[in-house]
Amino acid sequence: MNNTQLQLSNQICFPIYSASRLITKAYKPYLDELGLTYPQYLVLLVLWENDGLSVNQITEKLLLNTNTLSPLLKRMEKMELLQRSRCIEDERSVIIQLTTKGKKLQKRAVPIPEKLIGELLTDQIQMEDILQLKDTLCQLISAMSNKTDHTSKA
């Protein structure tokens, strides 16, 4: 019996998983300086781009479940980075807004992406390679999200 399809080196998901873990690890020293975890950083990125979103809007942007995001938001509220409040128009909806502290943290976070890119670039990996990989991964995410949406609605 030939099980080459079950060899780790033949898996599509493993390099993506490993790269994700290693990139998250590369972020860690920069985020430690800000007192943030990577998921908290992602929430802040979303809110720095568009403050005052609902929990559901944040979960959609980050491809997370509400039960994953809610405890994270509660911790961030205790850190005084954001505040949660019920939507006036729809009591079921919770709106997330940055506090002054959360807004100020953005200035300290500005150099992080450039520092991370500096760590990713090598003689073999150029900026155009990273941008192409990002585009390909975004296409994959979009295709997989659409498939997941269709199968969960069926």
**Mean pLDDT split into 10-residue runs, the chain, 154 residues:** 82 93 96 97 98 95 92 97 85 90 97 95 96 95 78 45
E strand segments, 1-154: 53-54, 82-86, 94-98
- pLDDT for res 1: 60
- pLDDT for res 151: 46
Domains of the chain: total: 2
- Same domain for 85 and 140, yes or no, is no
- pLDDT for res 148: 62
pTM for this entry: 0.88
- Same domain for 51 and 90, yes or no, is yes
22 HSE (CA, 13 A, CB side): 8
- Give whole-number Cα distances, 94 to 53, 59, 79, 83, 91, in Å: 8, 12, 18, 10, 7
- Same domain for 48 and 67, yes or no, is yes
**Structural domain containing residue 43:** 35-103
- Cα–Cα distance between 81 and 97 in angstroms, integer? 9
**Of the candidates 30, 26, 7, the residue with the CA atom closest to the CA atom of residue 18:** 26
Element (H, E) at 69: helix 66-78
